[in-house]
Structure 1
Amino acid sequence: MAGIPTFATPPGFLGLGRHDRDAEFVVAGIPLDIGTTNRGGARGGPAAIRQASRMLVDGAHPRGWVDPAALSLSDAGDFAIALGDIAGSLALIEAQAASVGGQLLALGGEHGITLALLRALAKRTGRKLALVHFDAHVDTWPDNFGQRYGHGSVFFHAIEEGLIEPRRTIQIGIRSPVQRAVWDWTVGRGVTILDAEAVHEAGAAATARRIAEVVGDAPAYLSFDVDALDPAFAPGTGTPEIGGLASWQAQAILRRLGGIGFLGMDVVEVAPAYDVAEITALAAATVVWEYLALLGARG
């Protein structure tokens, strides 16, 4: 990218010219948002995240000096979905995720896409996954306002289907209203919840240590809902909740997770119609960039 102005970065995540599904790391957009419960618009998230990622192409990561764009990395475009059909879309997403040769880094879209991605990855690994989940919401409601699938029920189904190991699952930044029965079910299954206030009080280093303790040496998945961030840092999302993490806190935590055996990730719920000056999209793009730098530093 030397000599190319940032604003002239080619389309695609980090301006990538590679588009196959056989790279070590494969970025794919999943523009699904028909399972949202408040403001729609996350279908525009993949395009907005790609556009904002142009800010991350003009140098290496300042820790470890890894240039994520120089890794074995491709942007395979957007997955197909079944218009208006959540269950059909999940089946399509799962099949397309299974066709990716390397690690899949998914740009959402709503959080419901994670269920399909976990189904594909659990089948590939043949075991339950640990989960590192940044969010304002527990997303363990048993249904989505009477619908079986949606962005608020993804981890209820993931636990019930045996895709993730609840005692190796940790949720960071939780703070939304929630029914006591849903909270008790989640904690009762063994999930660890670090609410936003606990993160603020403990700090990034202690939070990262707690995440590592819960996950242990299990194969893990990272799911980052951008509403884990406070609306001051991420207004462009469908279900904002005050009191969330600052961008720097999330970044600092992620940078300390190098010992975790991640096998894939997603960043979801970017709704660009509600964004201001691309700050939400840039935060989401930076989460993916940080993840790539983290794994790239392992060599």
Structure 2
Amino acid sequence: MTLDKAREEVDAAITRKDPRGLAFENAFGGVTSFLRRTYTKDLTGFDLAVTGVPFDQAVTHRPGTRFGPRAIREASTLQTFDPPYGWDGFDPLTEFSIADYGDLAFDYADIASVPELLQAHTAGILRQGCGTITLGGDHFITLPILRAYAEKYGPMSVIQFDAHSDLWPDDDMERIDHGTMMYKAVKLGVVDVSRSVQIGIRTECPDYLGIQYIDARTCHELGSSYVVDRVKAIVGDNPTYVTFDIDALDPAFAPGTGTPVWGGLASWQAAAMLRDLAGINMVGGDVVEVSPPYDTTGATAIAGAHVAMELCCLALWNKRKK
């Protein structure tokens, strides 16, 4: 979209005719769809759908991630003027059609209904031929999403950026807890543990259930290239889901999260890893645990928006024009 065209199509998220192209509206005004993409439930002709899940009733400590999707969308308006840096000229906003599918609708007082609703929500997008990039919300949301993906692809490879393994034992599959979501995903058979890996871990976990992990200290000492090479060797060409808990970043870079842990990844490390993962068979992903009430600067939402953009690039990289 040209600057002249932007002047004609105010609030392009709801008025633009062509879903492709950069957007040049003022970052401080207008409809805050993700990256100024078209708001739509009709995914005909679209390649990827971004959706939000403003759910934070599964947290162990500080709530607030219900405000994450809105904050990430607002922060993303700063990224709509140029192609993402470091992708060798690849511009997913111009080469592909990305939709903002809006948020999951649910009754905040009926928590037990959320997993089934979210699984159906995700499955509905997949049936329309699009992958999903989901804006959370707390990390519990990844479990219903993985269940929907497993229905289509079988057990998934998962790349999990996180300070925590989320493998706390809990065999009550109806219990909703962001600290047990990966444990349940493994027990339910929706994760291929032999081809999954966790990155940035820096809290104790007595049993990784066969999932390989690269803790934060290893990331720091051996570098991003080592991490990427090892991750690619683990996941291979298996259909892969990438889940990025913003607390993978050190609190210096992302203070707005429910359970911050020191010693985490720097923003530049996460950026390098995500960009160098290009070529994996990524079919979906999410960024979760952005909690705006704990960060008055907005830096955490900005980080979340950048992660989400990188996930869009990863999801579309293999489909680009050669």
Same fold judged by TM-score > 0.5? Answer: yes
Contact map agreement 1:219 1:263 (CA 8 A) in 2 = yes
Distance in structure 1 (CA, Å) of the matches to 2:58 and 2:109:
9
Identify the residue that residue 212 of structure 1 maps to in structure 2. 232
**What amino acid does structure 2 have at the position aligned with 1:96?**
H
Does 1:121 pair with 2:149? yes
Cα deviation, 1:44-92, whole Å, max 9, x if unaligned, reads: 0000000000111011123222333332110011002232344310110
Identify the residue that residue 207 of structure 2 maps to in structure 1. 185
Matches within 5 A, 1:78-93: 78-93=103-118
| Distance change in 2, residues 1:253/1:25 (3 Å) | same
SS of equivalent residue, structure 1 residue 223 = strand
SS of equivalent residue, structure 1 residue 8 = coil
Identify the residue that residue 11 of structure 2 maps to in structure 1. none
SS of equivalent residue, structure 2 residue 179 = coil
Moved more, 131-140 or 15-24: 15-24
Distance in structure 1 (CA, Å) of the matches to 2:42 and 2:247:
29
Contact map agreement 1:133 1:223 (CA 8 A) in 2 = yes
TM-score (normalised: structure 2): 0.86
**What amino acid does structure 1 have at the position aligned with 2:143?**
L
Contact map agreement 2:173 2:184 (CA 8 A) in 1 = no
Contact map agreement 1:94 1:116 (CA 8 A) in 2 = yes
SS of equivalent residue, structure 1 residue 255 = helix
Question: Once superposed, which parts of structure 1, at least 4 consecutive aligned residues long, lie more than 6 Å away?
Answer: 144-147
Does 1:234 pair with 2:272? no
Matches within 5 A, 1:1-299: 2-3=2-3, 4-8=25-29, 10-22=31-43, 23-62=46-85, 63-70=87-94, 71-100=96-125, 101=128, 102-125=130-153, 127-143=154-170, 148-176=175-203, 178=204, 183-186=205-208, 189-298=209-318, 299=320
Identity rate of aligned residues, in percent? 41
Distance in structure 1 (CA, Å) of the matches to 2:206 and 2:259:
22
- 1:152 is displaced (CA, Å) by 0.2
SS of equivalent residue, structure 1 residue 82 = coil
| Distance change in 2, residues 1:144/1:77 (3 Å) | farther
- 1:145 is displaced (CA, Å) by 11
SS of equivalent residue, structure 1 residue 26 = strand
TM-score (normalised: structure 1): 0.92
Paired residues in the alignment total: 291
Distance in structure 1 (CA, Å) of the matches to 2:206 and 2:191:
18
**What amino acid does structure 2 have at the position aligned with 1:99?**
G
SS of equivalent residue, structure 2 residue 139 = coil
Contact map agreement 2:283 2:315 (CA 8 A) in 1 = no
Cα deviation, 1:120-179, whole Å, max 9, x if unaligned, reads: 000012x11100000000001123999822100000000000000111110000102x3x
Contact map agreement 1:90 1:116 (CA 8 A) in 2 = yes
| Distance change in 2, residues 1:65/1:20 (3 Å) | farther
Contact map agreement 1:82 1:92 (CA 8 A) in 2 = no
**What amino acid does structure 1 have at the position aligned with 2:264?**
G
- 1:97 is displaced (CA, Å) by 0.7
Greater relative CO (CA pairs within 8 A, separation 6+): 1
**What amino acid does structure 1 have at the position aligned with 2:27?**
T
| Distance change in 2, residues 1:236/1:11 (3 Å) | same
Cα deviation, 1:223-271, whole Å, max 9, x if unaligned, reads: 0000000000000000000000001100100001112101100100000
